Amino acid sequence: MIASIGRFSAAHRRWVVIGAVLFTLLAGGWGTTVFGAITGGAGFDDPHSQSTKADTVLAGPLGRQADDVVVLYRSADRPVTDPAVAGPIQAAVAAVPRTDLDRVDTYWSTGNNPEFLSKDGHSTYVALQFKSSDDQERVKALQAVEKNFEVPGTEVHFGGITAMTEQVNGLTGQDIGRAEMLSVPLLLILLVFIFRSAVAASLPLATGAVVALGSFAVLRLLTFFVHISSSVINVITILGLGLAIDYALFMVNRFREELAAGTSLDEAVARTSATAGRTVAFSGLAVAISFAGLILFPSRFLSSMGYAAVSVVAFAVVGSLTLLPALLRMTGHRINSLRVPMPWDRRGEGPKPENQGRWYRTAKLVMRRPLVVTLAVVALLVGLGSPFLGVNWARPGDWVLPSSSDARVVTQHLAADFTQDPTKTVTAVVTLPGPADGARGALDEFANRLDSVSGVTGAAVTNTTGNLARITAHYSMDPMSREARTMVDGLRSLRAPDGGTAAFTGMPASRVDIVHMIGSRAVWMAIFVAVVSSLVLFLAFGSVTIPLKSVVLNLLSLSAAFGAIKLIFQDGHLHNLLGFTPIGAIDANFPVLIVAIAFGLAMDYEVFLLSRIKESHDLGHDPAESIAIGLQRTGKIITSAALLLVVVVCGFLTSSIAFMQMIGVGLVIAIVVDATLVRAILVPATMKLLGHRAWWAPAPLRRIWQRVNLAHGEADSSPASSRVEQPANG
């Protein structure tokens, strides 16, 4: 079927290319409107958690009491109580439209409340609460009034959860543009270096560009059905570009092999689709399955990431299997044109036999002591991952922004210069068996008990309606600290007034609930991804041993990334180089995202390598020779693909958002470890230990596999697979 798709695309190549160009133009126009449809940082919370349920109650008659935005004013040379400073500030605040605002509190409107004045008297803040309980609606409301708060000659900074969300949204588009400006030229240079031909190098980049722009259209379409956050767009568009280039690299390399073997153009396209295209299809399926595991999480952020990633990966596969065959047939023998010689190229010498290649020799060296090599590499990877055992989990907050951002500046000033940060509150929603007004004594007593919990700096009943009561508690520590988690546990352990229940919300409480949600579902995600990925590998190779080995090795390759992330982002190593301020914690969303992305990419390289090993095995080579030949045929392509993907992923490292940097560092380490230690060393060693058992399956499963005609592999269809020379790309 995949060969037929390739033949059809090649036969109608002009129409396929014209359609791709028109679609890309559409995606560049309509698709990029996705930035106007994103919902920022909303959707991290578990909709079934205690904090979210409390938020739902507070959105009703009981009402919220939260400072959504804190507008910080600072005068360098005069106290803010000086009429020359106070007058313009009061005039600006008075002129702010109140349409979307529920509450505006200032130093002056609260009767010169000293909490609104800094210790040196040069700063004050305005606390805003919006009417809407929806994150994105509050962001729009803030954008509508933001300019009204400006006061000439006085510093103005915007902090709080709503301002943080707005600032993250603003940085997202800038990050994507900067990442692509840096990565695309470097990708072109590397592709020319890999293929030694400018024409061959242009095809993966062209396919990647179509998929990257097309991903915007896919995401825009998804916004009509699911919530899409700004972070999703960053991750998915960069991933779509990387995968498309990876897949094109595999197929262009195979096409050149077929031409070098003397195959006709039409047959070369068909065989490339049937072999490398088949590998791309199974690889894409494995990657999509890894992302599908995110749908198991109830948070809108993770589930929408799953939907978006599956859609974009499918689009990358379809683009590679349709557009690329058309481009290959259109290019034909000119694919090796505009050759770029390298100083170290050997003149007048043909390609070396496979058994003289460095990857062949590496595999043979590893297989001399396979058990020792396996134990040594496993011990190394486990050791690299061991720091992760001391991880402290966080949830997204203003800490993801640069230290120079407004939201971070406000947080730092409130902590250092004011007696209390108005955004640091935990709210208790108390439900009573009878009218709350009649239980005021019990409610006050409960508030006093809340006040006695370590970390709480004050608690009081702030509203009652019907049988509901709202108690607001202030705290002083960092909401992402271990102490804040202990405080939440202490608050929730207290018994509510007789016959009543208490539900707590606020940043520390939602952080605890998010960590619990991810921890409780992560095991199910791992089981789902492992089982379904194993099924895909069985369908690809007809073995039950290969899937089990692959899952274990892929998890080992992730351990090094997890350990490094803990050392860098929680402990603060290299924070000056990356330009972030460590908070002593790691976002709880990180591990499941890295598992989804890196596990899928590892399966990508696994399928490509095992396809060539099995091809050689099916031609009659013994296991050791098959492994060595398979690694020789794929070693350079896998490392080249990994290098290109690292360049794409490094776009995350240029991000201004710490969460994106975290993903970038984790992926770079996982990709490098997987393409070197795992693919080049651990796979040959473990395959040698398994021998013929690597391709074993129970007889009933083997018959099922053969009956559904999945035994068709690369060796059946390509004379290039039996060549003894090195592949055309070297």
Are 280 and 204 in contact, with CB atoms under 8 Å apart?
no
Tokens representing 339 are 């050759």
pLDDT band at 158 (very low <50, low <70, confident <90, very high): very high
Q: Which of 468, 490, 511 is the last residue of a domain?
A: 511
Nearest to 432 by CA among 62, 63, 47, 48: 62
Mean pLDDT of the chain: 86
Are 163 and 69 in contact, with CB atoms under 8 Å apart?
yes
Nearest to 585 by CA among 408, 401, 387, 393: 393
Give the pLDDT of residue 445.
Answer: 95
Per-residue pLDDT at 240 exceeds 90: no
Q: Could you count the other beta carbons within 10 Å of the beta carbon of residue 709?
A: 8
Task: Classify residue 541 by burial, with Cβ atoms within 10 Å: 0-12, 13-18, 19+.
Answer: buried
Mean pLDDT computed over 412-433: 93
For residues 321 and 316, give the distance between their C-alpha atoms in angstroms, rounded to a whole number.
9
User: How many structural domains is the chain composed of?
Assistant: 4
For residues 15 and 213, give the distance between their C-alpha atoms in angstroms, rounded to a whole number.
19
Q: Which of 291, 321, 348 is the last residue of a domain?
A: 348
Domain match, 443 and 585 both: no
Are 333 and 259 in contact, with CB atoms under 8 Å apart?
yes
Q: Higher confidence at residue 350 or residue 577?
A: 577
Per-residue pLDDT at 123 exceeds 90: yes
Tokens representing 247 are 């897949």
Per-residue pLDDT at 447 exceeds 90: yes
Give the pLDDT of residue 39.
Answer: 55
Task: Return all residues near 348 (Cβ < 8 A) that are at least 6 apart.
Answer: none
Give the pLDDT of residue 507.
Answer: 93
Tokens representing 40 are 């920022």
Buried b (16+ CB within 10 A) or exposed e, 452-488: ebebbeebebbbbeebbbbbbbbbbbbbbbeebbbbb
Kindly report the CA angle at 21 between 15 and 25, in degrees rounded to 5?
Answer: 145
Domain match, 340 and 201 both: yes
Q: 590 lies in which domain range? A: 357-392+514-715
pLDDT band at 80 (very low <50, low <70, confident <90, very high): very high
Whether residue 401 is contained in a domain is answered as no
Tokens representing 449 are 């008990």
Q: Higher confidence at residue 5 or residue 729?
A: 5
Q: Which of 161, 182, 213 is the last residue of a domain?
A: 161
The letter for the amino acid at 695 is W
Helix (H) or strand (E) holding 232: helix 230-260
Q: pLDDT (tens digit, 9 = 90+) per residue, 666-694?
A: 888 988 998 888 988 999 999 999 988 88
DSSP string for 340-375: ---TTPPTT--PPBGGGSHHHHHHHHHTTSHHHHHH
For residues 162 and 164, give the distance between their C-alpha atoms in angstroms, rounded to a whole number.
5
For residues 54 and 426, give the distance between their C-alpha atoms in angstroms, rounded to a whole number.
11
Domain match, 301 and 442 both: no
Give the pLDDT of residue 406.
Answer: 92
Mean pLDDT computed over 524-548: 87
Output the domain CATH number for residue 281. Answer: 1.20.1640.10
Mean pLDDT computed over 382-390: 91
Tokens representing 570 are 């929680």
pLDDT band at 156 (very low <50, low <70, confident <90, very high): very high
pLDDT band at 493 (very low <50, low <70, confident <90, very high): very high
Per-residue pLDDT at 40 exceeds 70: no
> Which of 69-78, 133-142, 423-432 has the weakest average pLDDT?
133-142
Percent of the chain clearing pLDDT 70 (strictly above)? 92
Percent of the chain clearing pLDDT 90 (strictly above)? 36
Mean pLDDT computed over 206-221: 83
For residues 272 and 301, give the distance between their C-alpha atoms in angstroms, rounded to a whole number.
38
Whether residue 333 is contained in a domain is answered as yes
Domain match, 665 and 642 both: yes
Domain match, 201 and 300 both: yes
> Which of 172-181, 187-196, 530-539, 686-695 has the weakest average pLDDT?
172-181
pLDDT band at 443 (very low <50, low <70, confident <90, very high): very high
The residue assigned the tokens 């899937």 is 547
Task: Classify residue 379 by burial, with Cβ atoms within 10 Å: 0-12, 13-18, 19+.
Answer: exposed
pLDDT band at 347 (very low <50, low <70, confident <90, very high): low
Buried b (16+ CB within 10 A) or exposed e, 619-654: eebebbbbbbbbbbbbbbbbbbbbbbbbbbbbbbbb
Task: Classify residue 656 by burial, with Cβ atoms within 10 Å: 0-12, 13-18, 19+.
Answer: buried
Give the pLDDT of residue 72.
Answer: 96
For residues 330 and 255, give the distance between their C-alpha atoms in angstroms, rounded to a whole number.
12
Are 588 and 522 in contact, with CB atoms under 8 Å apart?
no
Give the pLDDT of residue 51.
Answer: 93
Domain match, 548 and 681 both: yes
Q: pLDDT (tens digit, 9 = 90+) per residue, 281-306?
A: 888 888 888 888 888 898 888 888 88
Give the pLDDT of residue 714.
Answer: 40
Whether residue 402 is contained in a domain is answered as no
Helix (H) or strand (E) holding 205: helix 198-222
Whether residue 504 is contained in a domain is answered as yes
DSSP state of 41: T
Give the pLDDT of residue 233.
Answer: 74
Give the pLDDT of residue 94.
Answer: 95
Whether residue 676 is contained in a domain is answered as yes
Q: Is the dihedral of CA 623, 279, 328, 718 positive or negative?
A: positive
Mean pLDDT computed over 133-160: 91
Whether residue 175 is contained in a domain is answered as no
Domain match, 522 and 490 both: no
Mean pLDDT computed over 652-665: 82
Q: How many residues does the chain have?
A: 730
Domain match, 117 and 245 both: no
Beta strands in 442-566 (DSSP E): 456-465, 468-475, 501-505
For residues 324 and 327, give the distance between their C-alpha atoms in angstroms, rounded to a whole number.
5
Output the domain CATH number for residue 117. Answer: 3.30.70
Give the pLDDT of residue 723.
Answer: 43
Whether residue 468 is contained in a domain is answered as yes
Domain match, 386 and 297 both: no
Domain match, 539 and 659 both: yes
Q: Higher confidence at residue 340 or residue 530?
A: 530
Domain match, 204 and 238 both: yes
Q: Higher confidence at residue 721 or residue 458?
A: 458
pTM here? 0.82
Give the pLDDT of residue 399.
Answer: 86
Whether residue 173 is contained in a domain is answered as no
- Quickly list H helices, 30-79: 50-58
Output the domain CATH number for residue 441. Answer: 3.30.70.1430
Biggest CA–CA distance in the chain, Å, is: 98
Give the pLDDT of residue 75.
Answer: 93
Q: Higher confidence at residue 516 or residue 184?
A: 516
Give the pLDDT of residue 709.
Answer: 55
Domain match, 385 and 304 both: no
Q: Higher confidence at residue 654 or residue 494?
A: 494
Tokens representing 316 are 């990358």
Are 722 and 619 in contact, with CB atoms under 8 Å apart?
yes
